[in-house]
Amino acid sequence: MKTIGLIGGMSWESSSEYYRIINKTVKERLGGLHSAQCIMYSADFEEIENLQHQGKWEELATLMINFAQRLEGAGADCIVICTNTMHKMAEEVEDNISIPLLHIADATAERIVEQGLGRLGLLGTTFTMEEDFYKKRLQEKYNIEVIIPSQSDREIIDRVIYNELCLGTIRQSSKEKYKEVIERLTSDGADGVILGCTEIPLLISQEDVEIPLFDTTTIHAKSAVEFALK
């Protein structure tokens, strides 16, 4: 079994889901008392969030490279960034390590392609929804058309992520708002919706809506297990 290197803490609520899903999947695959060989570097999200909203992405890239190099030095065989937004600097991280980085958008896109879907709604932080680092990869590498919510809906999605989900707060009223956004994306022609923030699956799941949802947390965590057990 290879050792999975996890960059977590952004937020720890979703990082704990990675740990749970990875170990549960290894147990299901191997049985008995098996669990995953993994190492996590857990960042202080307060520092990360402040730098994000100050637009200090170069400083964030330096931090992410440092986290990845520490994991590689500790014996990790791959890097898993346990957040969609911080894949904004995935290429910089890849360029500064000698082990594979398992990209969350690639793992998700492969599932979408398997289901034969081509027009996906994207929910996530404002950074993920509005900037190109995520959408462009899906479009250019996998020919997936990405549509995003209206500006007012994007503000709702982002606010719930940072002010509620990253603090471990789950509200039924926010779930209803998310469902309404998903309904509007469906009306706009989406044939599936990417839950493109690793906290969103804490709030909403497939049983809440009819349109196919792509839970990036679960997909990414399981792709790490696939790598580890090859």
What are the tokens at 148? 């995003």
Give the C-alpha separation, 28 to 51, whole Å.
39
83 annotated active-site: yes
Give the DSSP per-residue string, 137-206.
HHHHHH--EEE---HHHHHHHHHHHHHTGGGT---HHHHHHHHHHHHHHHHTT-SEEEE-STTGGGT--G
Catalytic residue among 78, 197, 216, 218: 197
Task: Tell me the C-alpha to C-alpha distance, in Å, between residue 158 and each of 6, 16, 92.
Answer: 24, 21, 25
Q: Which of 83, 125, 126, 198 is catalytic?
A: 83
Cα–Cα distance list, 62 to 58, 79, 140 (Å): 6, 16, 27
**CA-to-CA distance for 189 and 33, rounded, in angstroms?**
46
- Cα-flanking dihedrals φ and ψ of residue 165, to 5°? -65, -40
What SS3 class is residue 222? helix
Q: Is 78 a catalytic residue?
A: no
- The residues annotated with a catalytic role in the active site are 83, 197
